[in-house]
């Protein structure tokens, strides 16, 4: 699948879910589509510092949820990332909640050299405007780092299982329709990956989101990560602008 077909497929998926929701008259489905100037994940560029089309859908009922999110990317021959997730959300107190689930990152590729697919288990707690989340890599590798090292150096493949990601986020409405967004994260790689030289790093985000009405939202944020001396310019801080339509 080339990049143009991947983008067309993404648009079709989101449009189809929105149509199904409208036709069902109350089915617990929501959909969203976004255009962003750059896709960063955990502070690292995913699309070669180029605009990305993104979107997905969510189903929820009684605290349980399932969803799919997709984005154009720049490091595979398909140009597509597809995320599938499911879990359960609940309330601990009037201003406190929890969220547990499983997330599968899937990268469709033709004649792939490196398998970037990853499975994570996550848990989060929230209180007022703060959310703390921990993600644990349950799959054998972490976004192909171990396989890439093995291909370049030979020998046994370092395992990525056990990599953890800590995420602390805060969202606070500072004016009607205008929300301040702040985030700090830390990637702690599995011991095998650290032993062969890969370095842990922190990432950050500071920005605002404006609710423009009719399901439209405008966002701007500075996003980046540390350890650029090791990871390179993919960790460089960038100003990212995004427009989103929710349905």
* DSSP bridge pairs for 239: 222
Q: What is the pLDDT of residues 158-206, one digit of tens each?
A: 999 999 999 999 999 999 999 999 999 999 999 999 999 999 999 999 9
Q: Hey, what are 178's tokens?
A: 């205008």
Number of domains composing the chain: 1
Q: Which of 58, 56, 35, 59 is nearest to 47 (CA)?
A: 35
Residues 187, 203: Cα–Cα separation, whole Å: 8
Q: What confidence tens digit (pLDDT) does each residue in 117-164 have?
A: 999 999 999 999 999 999 999 999 999 999 999 999 999 999 999 999
Report how far apart the first and last C-alpha atoms of the chain are (Å, whole number).
27
Concatenated DSSP letters of 24-65: HTS-SEEEEEEEES--EETTEESSTTS-EEEEEEEEEETTEE
Q: How far apart are CA 34 and CA 22, in angstroms?
A: 20
Longest dimension (CA), the chain: 58
Q: Whole-prediction pTM value?
A: 0.88
CA dist 39 and 53 (Å) reads 9
Residue 30, classified by CB atoms within 10 Å of its CB into exposed (0-12), middle (13-18) or buried (19+), is middle
Give Cβ neighbours of residue 191 (< 8 Å, ≥ 6 apart). 162
Q: Identify the CATH number of the domain in which residue 208 sits.
A: 2.40.160.40
Contact 182, 203 (CB under 8 A): no
Q: What percent of the chain has pLDDT over 90?
A: 84
Domain that holds residue 23: 3-246
**pLDDT above 80: residue 38:** yes
């Amino acid at each position: 699948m080339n990049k143009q077909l991947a983008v067309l497929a993404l648009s079709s998926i989101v449009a189809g879910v929105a149509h199904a929701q409208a036709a069902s008259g109350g089915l617990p489905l929501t959909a969203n589509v976004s255009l962003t100037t750059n896709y960063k994940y955990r502070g690292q560029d995913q699309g070669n510092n180029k605009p990305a089309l993104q979107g997905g859908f969510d189903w929820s009922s009684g605290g349980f949820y399932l969803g799919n999110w997709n984005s154009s990317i720049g490091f595979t021959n398909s140009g597509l990332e597809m995320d599938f997730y499911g879990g359960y959300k609940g309330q601990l107190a009037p201003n406190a909640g929890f969220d547990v689930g499983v997330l599968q990152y899937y990268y469709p590729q033709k004649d792939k050299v490196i398998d970037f697919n990853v499975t994570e288990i996550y848990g989060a707690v929230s209180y007022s405007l703060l959310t703390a989340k921990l993600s644990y890599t349950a799959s054998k590798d972490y976004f192909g780092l171990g396989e890439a090292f093995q291909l370049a150096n030979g020998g046994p493949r370092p395992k990525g299982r056990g990599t953890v990601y800590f995420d602390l986020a805060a969202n606070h409405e500072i004016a009607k329709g205008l929300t301040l967004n702040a985030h700090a994260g830390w990637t702690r790689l599995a011991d095998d990956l650290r032993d062969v030289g890969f370095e842990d790093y922190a990432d950050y985000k500071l920005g605002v989101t404006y609710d423009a009405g009719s399901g439209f939202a405008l966002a701007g944020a500075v996003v980046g990560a540390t350890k650029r001396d090791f990871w390179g310019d993919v960790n460089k801080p960038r100003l990212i602008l995004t427009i989103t339509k929710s349905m």
